[in-house]
Structure 1
């Protein structure tokens, strides 16, 4: 048994205060938070900003238009004794506002006290639920009381399917064109994120020599592949996405806090458990990046809808 968990178990049975509740100490909350990283896709690869209040403004240089220069600077070629023009950098602010994510459950005192290694089971369940919910929000969130997910990002690029492409298919042209729209600086950090329902057509792809284009465990076009259930099903826009999550910002106002009380279920000898985390997330860009030749690229590229 993990000795650190005995404190949780003892606290749950003894109770603190007139309402019979207690809060798991910070060090235990940190255990939950850190262990959920192993099951997450976005947070281990994202920018994580500590928040000391409900909102935080993150200043950054504006690199959303590189058609004439970068960050608002336009370099000049100067003759001897030539006079340079004063350049003013373009800055913008990324506003992070914390949202609250909660998990609530109840259990009988008998289960809490007599259940087989219950504290460890509770820890594992809480860790998995936390990681699942965070990833789902960072991928699919609509920004209303929750993070703005990659699939709803205003900076995303959607690559349309080929003319007359059959429903629920993935072809080489789709992947190559997605690859070509990725932000150049994102190639070293990008990952393919694929819904599991898209695995069959992906594994069936062949190169010109008739060899598999991709095999599980290997990179696809030089980029790692992550399989998840959290993207839309095969044929729906976003069932496969090419993402550089280092261009996604997460604001952490409060790490997970686990509270337990027997007050609500006093007459049933029932223990209520609550997990709360205050967090937000959004892409760092507000629109696709415009390049010098007029082409647009993005750190988040989705395959479009292939359903009639």
Structure 2
């Protein structure tokens, strides 16, 4: 029998290499070079081969267990060497905390200064962060820097273009046409340090002990609930966070611009057109909105009398607004408040992942109720790449982060 833990570690390491290639290209705002494309394709083939090997080994171990007809224990040499699912891991952690399979993950948690919990291996934690552009707004569209293997929670600092006074949208870089024999003018880019330090964030869920005994059910339910909660919590922080022990939200950052609405408590076609005019075009813009604006949005018409928003109601109310996708967020302020509608390009937002996910399970607070509290915690930070709006050559100001405000007094 092969060691599934080691096989999955190798697969996770290979995927980290693939992510590093993608991150490098994204950071440099370019696609893959021919050499990188070839290298990435090779790693993809290796990763698929590893996944196939893992699946075969899982089947082999399950067959060995069923053939024996007896329940395996940690002392048995043929004891299953890896957890079948996230639910199986939680169930084991709660019912048999001294299971030998937990030892390594507990040590990994301690090496990250986490006590009383265990590290969730990549094959399971990836499920919790497996969000799509339909289920999360920011993470699938932002530049994500993965956690460093040796010091995952260490701060990272890199240069960001300075759009401050006396600068331009290229951070002070100027291009000049030079006549023959003329001196080349000196120019230098203006940068400011962008520092990202992963902050700890935690969520918890209460489950009955009866449910906890069913590893298949707990895997399905807990994974789904935690994934939704993580997605919502991160979106809220990446959009509206104040930067105090949490990410700096794009909408509340100095890089955003606010367009005052024409009429209090109302969103008009003119407001939407005005927001688009203030947005930095050319990227992957997306609208995010409060569900409370739907009555106005669904009945809004342009000057020719055409409905401007006709969503696919059968597919989670997806659709486009002035050509750009729109997503409805539970975190958005209610109709009439600032930011009930925003237009953003998260290619200008940077996320730094830290250590985690870790889990803890405790029955003590709810022991008499036969319930267990499951806590998941991880570390992450995020900030806009810009420190101010962008100024075009003609002086017109735009931003990748535009919010609809309240009327001017």
The two structures share one fold, judged by TM-score above 0.5? yes
Match of 1:202 among 284, 297, 303: 297
What is the deviation of 1:281?
Answer: 1.1
Q: Does 1:161 align with 2:261?
A: yes
What is the deviation of 1:263?
Answer: 6.9
Q: Unaligned stretches of 5+ in structure 1?
A: none
Q: What TM-score do the two structures reach when normalised by structure 1?
A: 0.85
Which stretch shifts more, 110-119 or 13-22?
13-22
Q: C-alpha separation between the residues in 2 aligned to 1:73 and 1:306?
A: 36
Pair 54,266 (structure 1): closer, same or farther in 2 beyond 3 Å: farther
Q: Does 1:184 align with 2:281?
A: yes
Match of 1:170 among 267, 282, 298: 267
Deviations 1:67-92 (A, max 9, x none): 66733222222222222123322222
Greater fraction of residues in strand? 1
Q: C-alpha separation between the residues in 2 aligned to 1:82 and 1:20?
A: 69
Tell me what 1:143 maps to.
243
Q: C-alpha separation between the residues in 2 aligned to 1:220 and 1:36?
A: 20
Deviations 1:119-170 (A, max 9, x none): 32111111111111111111221111111112311111111122xx3x3211
Q: Does 1:12 align with 2:108?
A: no
Pair 117,207 (structure 1): closer, same or farther in 2 beyond 3 Å: same
Q: Does 1:279 align with 2:380?
A: yes
Which stretch shifts more, 255-264 or 131-140?
255-264
Q: C-alpha separation between the residues in 2 aligned to 1:174 and 1:138?
A: 24
* Alignment: residue pair count: 302
Is 1:195–1:229's contact at 8 Å kept on the other side of the alignment? yes
Pair 211,16 (structure 1): closer, same or farther in 2 beyond 3 Å: same
Q: C-alpha separation between the residues in 2 aligned to 1:106 and 1:36?
A: 26
Q: Does 1:294 align with 2:390?
A: no
Q: C-alpha separation between the residues in 1 aligned to 2:169 and 2:287?
A: 30
Is 1:169–1:306's contact at 8 Å kept on the other side of the alignment? no
Tell me what 1:237 maps to.
338
Q: Unaligned stretches of 5+ in structure 2?
A: 1-82, 104-114, 313-318
Pair 110,22 (structure 1): closer, same or farther in 2 beyond 3 Å: farther
Q: C-alpha separation between the residues in 2 aligned to 1:16 and 1:27?
A: 22
Is 1:12–1:22's contact at 8 Å kept on the other side of the alignment? no
Q: What TM-score do the two structures reach when normalised by structure 2?
A: 0.66
> Secondary structure at 1:73's aligned position in 2?
coil
Q: Does 1:220 align with 2:302?
A: no
Pair 216,63 (structure 1): closer, same or farther in 2 beyond 3 Å: same
Which stretch shifts more, 170-179 or 3-12?
3-12
Is 2:158–2:195's contact at 8 Å kept on the other side of the alignment? yes
> Secondary structure at 2:380's aligned position in 1?
strand
Pair 205,267 (structure 1): closer, same or farther in 2 beyond 3 Å: closer
What is the deviation of 1:294?
Answer: 1.9
> Secondary structure at 1:242's aligned position in 2?
strand
Q: C-alpha separation between the residues in 2 aligned to 1:25 and 1:220?
A: 40
Tell me what 2:353 maps to.
252
Q: C-alpha separation between the residues in 2 aligned to 1:16 and 1:268?
A: 24
Is 1:214–1:220's contact at 8 Å kept on the other side of the alignment? yes
Pair 111,154 (structure 1): closer, same or farther in 2 beyond 3 Å: same
Match of 2:221 among 106, 121, 129: 121
What is the deviation of 1:61?
Answer: 3.9
Q: C-alpha separation between the residues in 2 aligned to 1:282 and 1:6?
A: 33
Is 2:288–2:329's contact at 8 Å kept on the other side of the alignment? yes
Q: C-alpha separation between the residues in 2 aligned to 1:109 and 1:293?
A: 65
Q: C-alpha separation between the residues in 2 aligned to 1:299 and 1:144?
A: 23
Match of 2:136 among 8, 20, 40: 40
Which has the higher Rg, Structure 1 or Structure 2? 2
Larger relative contact order (C-alpha < 8 A, sep ≥ 6)?
Answer: 1
